Chains A and B, each alone.
Chain A
Amino acid sequence: MDVFITSKADFDSSIQRMIQQNEIYGVKRKTPSFAFDRLVAAEELCLDYDITVLPPTKYLLPPTESLIKFKLAPEPSIRSSAEAQPCILIGIHPDDLHAIKLLDAVFTGSLTDVNYLARRRATTIVGVDCVNPWPYSFAASMGTAIPPRIFDLWLTDLGDEYLVEVGSARGEDLRKRYLKTRRAREVDLRQRNKVRQDWLKKYQLSLDMPPQEIPKVLDEAWHSPLWEELGQKCLACGSCTMVCPTCICFDVRDGIELNLKEGERYRRWDSCMFDGFAKVASGENFRPTGTARLRHRLYRKGKYMLERYGELGCVGCGRCVHACLVDIASPVAAYNRLAKEAR
């Protein structure tokens, strides 16, 4: 394992140099919340944050994204608009990185979404352990509070220093070019393990079962009264899905320039919680009720994604728990309740 130590003072000046030479998106304070945004100065970067309003997946699957560009005249022609600028994402939390692992499985599996792949390849990931989990998160009990090994660099706050783990050749290149480091010693690694254990204890919500058991609970829960109970309160606002790091559903639309000669096809975030999501042109709506839509969302998170892509569709970040206006979106509350019903 390539693990290093850098002092926080050195790290700040490294970030300043990085900003001058790269496009960097990092976590900034946006009182009262935090958000990923373009960094222009090192002091903007905030690595001891609790949660960002939107997950960093917005850089891999943007809210709107051009898919193809076309010309109608003189002759019709079409080209792909998949392209991406190299950038560095700094400050990703472990649960959000687990979400990116799922997105990788979806978009670069048996079929490749080249728009996603172009952005993913152009993105260098510098993650950080979560020092201050917010009260809505249950990542520790989902097993997602420790990062999967798909980062380029990983930081752990050890007080006056960061422990820096290198996860890829690209990460090693970044370290060599910008960071002033010394090799980590055994004592540093022990310290990392210790602080990680301390932080895991700070999570206030927790799943009452191992996360792999969620599909088994759901297998018995199709007819639970819970769905109707929650579904009839649902406003179909889509807030839970807009803030979710694993929500990837999109709509596809065409836009045309005022000259009526050229335009583009783009995708934009959509939500399975919207009432028209499963409606077809003939007028038939295959998921017409809040009850059906809410059940679908929680099955997709807790079962379907795992069956199809090998990763759970919920990473326990808790954004939906907080975003829901009528307090019905919490996966952990639903899964715990269903497990209790099953017993």
Chain B
Amino acid sequence: MAVGTELGSSLFLPKLAELLKVEPLSEKEKLFQLRLKDGSRLNHKPGQFVEVSVLGIGEAPISISSSPTRDDSFELVVRMVGNLTGALHRLQPGDTVGIRGPFGNGFPVSELLKRDLLFVAGGIGLCPLRSMIQHAIDKREQFGRIILLYGCRQPAEQLFRGELGEWRQRPDIEILESVDRCPVDVAWEGSVGVITTLFPQVSIDPGKTTALVVGPPVMYRFVVAECLKQGIAKERILLSLERRMKCGMGFCGHCQINNRYVCQDGPVFSYAELSRLGEAEL
């Protein structure tokens, strides 16, 4: 035990952050742009998360959806599902929240250099992936192809529609979109069906490709099977996992999968690693 050292500052102590912008993205999701009040940068890596506090209500782990390559602010997308996220949705620009982190490993950016990046986003899974997509766009020459497969339940649930429009205009990004179902009165140019229906529509070089997959748990088994079928190595299939990360430091126990703590060792894991963990059920 480190008996002689200084106590140091508490890792439970959030920094205060100001909401710069609050913007609805869909019926249930809002985008929050924040800046730390002490003037420091968050210094996060794509794929990491923060613990967001509404003081008096509580704290929740939220993935960072903007790239550190942009500016000194950062963005979070929050789906309203409970007390804390409900309280967040009631906040206005100028209001204050608490931020701890960033936590977790994030995407292994250095291992992705020169690789073709196959992003597979299911619903709100686009939010953590967006931090890496923006990073790859901002340092475009460092990466190979950028392919995005984006599946939602229906067209109205698509997030970042404006930004998706910009990405579609770029010749150096390939985007394929699907919805599980499309109401008859809604115009939709993408595919209809689950996200795996997009795989046959794209031709990849499996040896050069790393898949970055984020979506609901039910999606992973099917998407992993498709990636393997395409010939992508187990080590090159990266998944970001959602768990109940209360403390972010590997203390509280809630996010444990076998002997791994998602908050510290993850949230990004390779399928090679997850396939050895019985509790990952992949």
Residues of A with Cβ closer than 8 Å to B? 67-68, 70, 72, 76-80, 82, 104, 106-108, 111-115, 117-118, 120-121, 150, 222, 248-254, 256, 260, 263, 265, 267, 270, 272, 277-282, 284, 286-287, 292, 296, 299-300, 303-304, 307-308
Q: Closest approach, in angstroms, between the C-beta of A259 and any C-beta of chain B?
A: 11
Q: List the 3 shortest-distance A-B pairs measured between CB atoms, nearest first.
A: A249-B253, A80-B10, A304-B259
Asked if B140 is at the interface (CB within 8 A of a chain A CB), the reply is: no
Q: Nearest chain-A residue to B82 (Cβ)?
A: A281
Are A106 and B251 CB-contacts (below 8 A) given A281-B81, A296-B279?
yes
For A307, list chain B residues within 8 Å (CB). 259
Are A249 and B2 CB-contacts (below 8 A) given A70-B55, A254-B55?
no
CB pair A279 B244 closer than 8 Å: yes
Q: How far is the CA of A113 from the CA of B13 in the complex (A)?
A: 11
Of the residues B5, B57, B252, contact of A270 by C-beta under 8 Å: B252
For A115, list chain B residues within 8 Å (CB). 10, 12
For A256, list chain B residues within 8 Å (CB). 56
Asked if B11 is at the interface (CB within 8 A of a chain A CB), the reply is: yes
CB pair A292 B1 closer than 8 Å: no
Q: How far is the CA of A248 from the CA of B13 in the complex (A)?
A: 20
Report whether over half of chain B's contact residues are helix, strand or loop; otherwise say mixed. Answer: loop
Proximity string of chain B (166-178) to chain A, C-beta cutoff 8 Å, 1 when within and 0 when not: 0000000000000
For B108, list chain A residues within 8 Å (CB). none
CB pair A278 B246 closer than 8 Å: no
CB pair A117 B243 closer than 8 Å: no
5 A-B pairs with C-beta separation under 8 A:
A78-B55, A251-B246, A278-B254, A281-B82, A292-B279
Q: How far is the CA of A112 from the CA of B249 in the complex (A)?
A: 9
For A79, list chain B residues within 8 Å (CB). 13
For B60, list chain A residues within 8 Å (CB). 281
CB pair B57 A280 closer than 8 Å: no
Of the residues A67, A272, A280, A303, contact of B10 by C-beta under 8 Å: A67
Asked if B258 is at the interface (CB within 8 A of a chain A CB), the reply is: yes
CB pair A114 B7 closer than 8 Å: yes
For A286, list chain B residues within 8 Å (CB). 217, 243-244, 257, 279
Q: Nearest chain-B residue to A250 (Cβ)?
A: B252
Q: Nearest chain-B residue to A253 (Cβ)?
A: B58
Q: Closest approach, in angstroms, between the C-beta of B275 and any C-beta of chain A?
A: 13
Q: How far is the CA of A265 from the CA of B51 in the complex (A)?
A: 13
Are A281 and B11 CB-contacts (below 8 A) given A249-B254, A251-B252, A263-B56?
no
Q: Closest approach, in angstroms, between the C-beta of B241 and any C-beta of chain A?
A: 9
Proximity string of chain B (94-112) to chain A, C-beta cutoff 8 Å, 1 when within and 0 when not: 0010100000000000000
Q: Nearest chain-B residue to A305 (Cβ)?
A: B259
Within 8 A of A (CB), among B197-254: 216-217, 242-244, 246-247, 249-254
CB pair A252 B253 closer than 8 Å: no
CB pair B59 A265 closer than 8 Å: yes
Asked if B3 is at the interface (CB within 8 A of a chain A CB), the reply is: yes
Q: How far is the CA of A272 from the CA of B55 in the complex (A)?
A: 26
CB pair A68 B217 closer than 8 Å: no
Are A117 and B279 CB-contacts (below 8 A) given A78-B16, A80-B9?
no
Q: How far is the CA of A282 from the CA of B62 in the complex (A)?
A: 13
Q: How far is the CA of A254 from the CA of B11 in the complex (A)?
A: 16
CB pair B96 A76 closer than 8 Å: yes
Given A250-B252, A280-B242, output 6 extra A-B contacts at Cβ < 8 Å: A80-B9, A118-B7, A278-B254, A281-B84, A286-B243, A300-B256
For A76, list chain B residues within 8 Å (CB). 16, 55, 96
Q: How far is the CA of A156 from the CA of B14 in the complex (A)?
A: 46
Most buried by B among A112, A263, A284, A296: A112
CB pair B57 A254 closer than 8 Å: yes
For A308, list chain B residues within 8 Å (CB). 259
For B247, list chain A residues within 8 Å (CB). 250, 252
CB pair B98 A78 closer than 8 Å: yes
Are A249 and B55 CB-contacts (below 8 A) given A76-B96, A282-B81, A303-B259?
no
CB pair B252 A78 closer than 8 Å: no
Q: Closest approach, in angstroms, between the C-beta of A211 and any C-beta of chain B?
A: 17
Asked if B8 is at the interface (CB within 8 A of a chain A CB), the reply is: yes
Are A282 and B55 CB-contacts (below 8 A) given A78-B14, A296-B279?
no
Are A304 and B258 CB-contacts (below 8 A) given A78-B55, A108-B1, A113-B249?
yes
CB pair A252 B252 closer than 8 Å: yes
Asked if B165 is at the interface (CB within 8 A of a chain A CB), the reply is: no
Asked if B278 is at the interface (CB within 8 A of a chain A CB), the reply is: yes
Of the residues A80, A107, A112, A117, contact of B13 by C-beta under 8 Å: A80
Of the residues B82, B251, B256, contact of A113 by C-beta under 8 Å: B251
Asked if B63 is at the interface (CB within 8 A of a chain A CB), the reply is: no
Of the residues A117, A248, A292, contact of B251 by C-beta under 8 Å: A248
Q: Nearest chain-B residue to A79 (Cβ)?
A: B13
CB pair B253 A111 closer than 8 Å: no
Q: How far is the CA of A78 from the CA of B14 in the complex (A)?
A: 7
For B5, list chain A residues within 8 Å (CB). 112
For A107, list chain B residues within 8 Å (CB). 251
Q: How far is the CA of A272 from the CA of B249 in the complex (A)?
A: 17
Asked if B131 is at the interface (CB within 8 A of a chain A CB), the reply is: no
For A104, list chain B residues within 8 Å (CB). 1
CB pair B251 A68 closer than 8 Å: no
